[in-house]
Structure 1
Amino acid sequence: MNERNVAMKRNTNEDFKWKLTKIHFGVIGAAMIFALSLLAQNTQYRDFTNKLVSLNKEKRELMDEKTRLTIKREALSDPIRIRSIAVEKYGMVGAEPNKVHEIESSSGVE
């Protein structure tokens, strides 16, 4: 009987050690999975941050281009500038801008 009790205690002790080892590896595995999920989340956050920085840079470039084109449009919308471009670039023949202005002034049209 005494030998049997010793064997049962040994089996119980070995079972306890095995269960403790399984729990230990389970905790280590869970910690590793948690660490990997944090790493993946950090990588995703960094990717989104880089995309946001890139989009903000592109937005600034587009706003600069819009401003440049607005200034260019304002400069080109001047009637005298339109006439000079028509004459210089396209060879169109027209009255001198000063003469047109004189005719409009003398006829009372403004």
Structure 2
Amino acid sequence: MEEDSDSNEADNDAYSDESDPEEAGEGIAGRQSGSLNGTTASAGFKIQGEHHFSNLCAYLPEYLSGRTKLDLNVINTFAITLHMCNEHSLRLVQEVDPETNLVLKDAMADFKIELAKQ
């Protein structure tokens, strides 16, 4: 029974508020500003450069460990992206045909993440 509790502690380490922000990849998103029900919010979030959802899916696992990394999939990544867009005034953009205003077929597989225009 003790072995199970040890493995649960290791799984919970991935969710610890005591992790190094740079090591967890949070240096990219900003500094931690507080904790609510075991989740950590970021402050001072600034997006620089050009970011695409496909790149996020490819590189996000490098910043995760333990159970968090194992549980990550495209659906969870998309949900995380939507939360980040909501919390930090970001928007998801796909290329559209200027004549028809429809999303281009080549752009259906990916989208750009950028600051929402205020």
Task: Tell me which of the two structures has the higher relative contact order, counting C-alpha pairs closer than 8 angstroms and 6 or more residues apart.
Answer: 2
Both structures adopt the same fold (TM-score exceeding 0.5) = no
* Greater helix share, structure number: 1
For normalisation by structure 2, the TM-score amounts to 0.21
For normalisation by structure 1, the TM-score amounts to 0.22
Rg larger in structure: 1
